[in-house]
Structure 1
Amino acid sequence: MSRPHAASIVEDAWNSRMNSVLASRGWTPRAVGHTGYGSTDFVRVLGRVLLSRHPEEVTIDAKRLPDSGEDVGQELGPEPRVRGWRAFLTAQLMNAEVDVRIGDVVHRTSSDRSGYIDLTVTGHDLTPGWHEVTITPVGGISAQAPVQIVGPSVRFGLVSDIDDTIITTALPRPLIAAYNTFVLTEQARNIVPGMAPMYRELLGDHPGAPIFYLSTGAWNTEDTLNRFIHRHGYPAGALLMTDWGPTNTGWFRSGQQHKRVTLHRLAKEFPQIQWVLVGDDGQHDPKIYGDFARDRPDVVRAIGIRELTTTEQVLSHGLPVSNEGFAPRVRRPVPVVRAPDGYGLLRQLRAVLAQG
């Protein structure tokens, strides 16, 4: 077994020391629930354990079980003017024992070195649809986490990128992540025209079908992104994010590798589903999706690429993009459609999907 990277050793030592100091001052473990998913065979529960100074504190919770199409913007009320950097002022509790209640059964697990919970349980009594599970750190405050159980008859699903696909900021790529995360208030993020209606219509054609929002962004921004998604009418679905901290092999995680691994995991977990993959041409989505379609053409129904404007392309790359991954006159295993917004993509995707 190889020795952990120096960055992770330093981070673990710092977090361990911080946990001890805060616990000695009366800070309490508090669970945070992220949206999970599963099938009738398994359920994946996602969350985090933090140390809280005030046990009675309540965080804004945009996660709710989807229902009959209520006006989510009305339900959430005025959008909070919260700077993104506040989401990173957290004290994660590493290696904390946690009880996860799924239905009537309690499962014991523990948080990882960054406080995250990622528990997969095989065998449960949850029916297809949306449910809530309870995450309770031992001696701490519980949180509810929504999970979507996909029925065995579902044959269609969506995977969507986030930055420049459903959210646009028109900033240079090196600054987008930092600016979105640390500076912008939530109401300053802009939607990409037509994407929310496209997702609603495609999922409306396939009742019970899931959507996954696949991003290289940090888990700390999950609450903010969930509020954005609900407020602007995007369908509810699990956000599959990353931890930006050091790993056992280096200073930073590979965002591209995260997306590749997640796509293959979804294909394995839902072998009956044909996926429509949606991204943009301003980063690595064409290459990642193209490689996945080449490896698994049996599970990819179509790829939709949102074309960035010239300004967005220059800001994203600094020079024109060469359609990485989708060179002209190269035979591709699955259909690829392109348009500048969701309205154009929907027309083309409907034509592709109608072909059977």
Structure 2
Amino acid sequence: MPHGSLPSADQLKRAAQIVEGRYESAKRNLKALVGFRRPLRIQTYRGFGSPNDLRVSGRVLEDKPIADPEEDHSWWQNMRSMYRHWQTDEVSGCRIACEFHGRRQTALTDEEGYFEFRYRFAEALPDGAFHTATLSLPPQAIRQAGPVQATSFNLVPSATAQFGVISDMDDTVIRSYASNFWKIARLTLLKNARTRLPFEGVSAFYNALAAGTHSDWAESPTSRDPDIDPVVPPNPIYYVSSSAWNLYELFRVFLRVNGLPDGPILLRDLGIDANQFIAGGHGHKLEKIERIFASTGDLPFVLIGDSGQDDPKLYRDAVARHPGRVKAIYIRDVRDRTRFDVRRIAREVTADGVPMKLVPDTVAAANHAAQLGLIDAAHLPAIREDRRGDRLDATGESAERQETV
């Protein structure tokens, strides 16, 4: 490099990869030297695919005990648990096996501990089901009580689905204040999956979308654990977020305790990779949408997001790339500064034949969805009631006021 010149982005990226790799290697060697090695665990992520092509994914980590979240946990307990979610000790180069429909594959985890298996079938899998895969690790030279196994649930939507739903999480389903660093940091660190609040009416609205015009489908009960007994709704729902995979457990429990429909949760890796200095970014959401579209034939979709980040632009790109695949777009209005630009994008997309609505709340989106025939109008009273009654305290103070920070 010439004297006085600045390093290029590629050089900085390579240097960061080297530093990260050496740090992780030194940490592993130190643990081996002092004999401090925790048992391993397999973190599975709910997969998805088509009857002929399906992927199973997850991560191998050192097992750190993390208490199940409770509503009465103190801020200190929440912060300690969240620290353990973020400060993961991933296991790279670990051989893992996957058994799926009588077929066995093996793979090595990557530098961040991630793995993915892809299965293709000449004879189609049954649709409208969560298919189970069994993952296992070979015996480890560590303190291990027994075999390491985990079960992965992988969605193949029903062939009779009327449409699918792709929804953002932060500031669309769960209150996050994602455009305000200090607010999202405080919520993430000091609250847990049981004390973070949904937007009013979201549970009833999403269950109405999942039902479509299948009026005989019941809402998802909050007492059921979807990682033991997931239920495929008539219309599949995919949750796509720019949050890190470290928050997977928070989102998983949040969906369950708030009675939202079961579905894959697709997040991003924040590590350093060969393509970007910090891997991920909002562009990953469009990549995930592309994968969902590719796995669902010609099934149309409803896209739901918020105005705080890049959802309107990403959804506009999805419409342009996949003509005829998007029935409607709902953008929750959460940021004054972006309102003008979002309205401009909404006019462009609507002029191309796909209604994009900037909505102040869930009820406004539900009213429009009922007009389009996406949901049964009979669900509207329940959505309005859910909006009024969601998480009111004994004095009638609104949840939004309680969680404003």
What is the TM-score when the length of structure 2 is the normalising length? Answer: 0.73
Structure 2 equivalent of residue 63 of structure 1: none
Structure 1 equivalent of residue 273 of structure 2: 247
Q: Is the 8 A contact 2:98 2:134 kept in 1?
A: yes
Structure 1 position 192 matched with structure 2 position 187: no
Q: Give the 3 Å change call, closer, same or farther, for CA 148–79 of structure 1 in structure 2.
A: farther
Q: Is the 8 A contact 1:218 1:241 kept in 2?
A: yes
| In 1, Cα distance between equivalents of 2:31 and 2:174 | 37
Structure 2 equivalent of residue 45 of structure 1: 56
| In 2, Cα distance between equivalents of 1:199 and 1:139 | 43
Structure 1 equivalent of residue 31 of structure 2: 22
| In 1, Cα distance between equivalents of 2:250 and 2:341 | 31
Q: Give the 3 Å change call, closer, same or farther, for CA 171–334 of structure 1 in structure 2.
A: closer
Q: Residues 285-328 of structure 1: CA distance to partner in whole angstroms, max 9, x if unpaired?
A: 111111211221221111111122xxxx25xxxx4532337447
| In 2, Cα distance between equivalents of 1:353 and 1:293 | 20
For the residue of structure 2 that corresponds to 1:121, the secondary structure is: strand
**Aligned match of 2:313 in 260, 280, 287?**
287
Deviation, 1:271, is 2.2
Structure 2 equivalent of residue 332 of structure 1: 352
For the residue of structure 2 that corresponds to 1:190, the secondary structure is: coil
**Aligned match of 1:210 in 229, 236, 254?**
236
Structure 1 equivalent of residue 387 of structure 2: none
| In 2, Cα distance between equivalents of 1:183 and 1:5 | 35
Q: Is the 8 A contact 1:286 1:326 kept in 2?
A: no
Could you tell me which runs of 5 or more consecutive residues in structure 2 were left unpaired when the two chains were aligned: 1-9, 141-147, 215-232, 376-405
| In 2, Cα distance between equivalents of 1:97 and 1:346 | 47
Q: CA RMSD in A?
A: 2.7
Deviation, 1:264, is 1.4
Q: Give the 3 Å change call, closer, same or farther, for CA 334–152 of structure 1 in structure 2.
A: same
Structure 1 equivalent of residue 229 of structure 2: none
Structure 1 equivalent of residue 340 of structure 2: 322
Given residue 335 of structure 1, which amino acid in structure 2 is its aligned partner? P
Structure 2 equivalent of residue 95 of structure 1: 93
Structure 1 position 161 matched with structure 2 position 168: yes
Structure 1 equivalent of residue 78 of structure 2: 82
Q: Give the 3 Å change call, closer, same or farther, for CA 177–248 of structure 1 in structure 2.
A: farther
What is the TM-score when the length of structure 1 is the normalising length? Answer: 0.83
Q: Give the 3 Å change call, closer, same or farther, for CA 107–345 of structure 1 in structure 2.
A: same
Deviation, 1:346, is 1.3
Deviation, 1:94, is 0.8
Q: Which has the higher strand share?
A: 1
Deviation, 1:184, is 2.8
Name the count of aligned residue pairs.
Answer: 328
Structure 1 position 35 matched with structure 2 position 38: no
Structure 1 stretch 196-205 or stretch 162-171: which is displaced more?
162-171
For the residue of structure 2 that corresponds to 1:271, the secondary structure is: coil
Deviation, 1:77, is 7.6
Structure 2 equivalent of residue 343 of structure 1: 363
Given residue 25 of structure 2, which amino acid in structure 1 is its aligned partner? S
Q: Give the 3 Å change call, closer, same or farther, for CA 324–58 of structure 1 in structure 2.
A: closer
| In 2, Cα distance between equivalents of 1:208 and 1:334 | 23
Could you tell me which runs of 5 or more consecutive residues in structure 1 were left unpaired when the two chains were aligned: 61-75
Deviation, 1:44, is 1.4
Deviation, 1:165, is 0.3
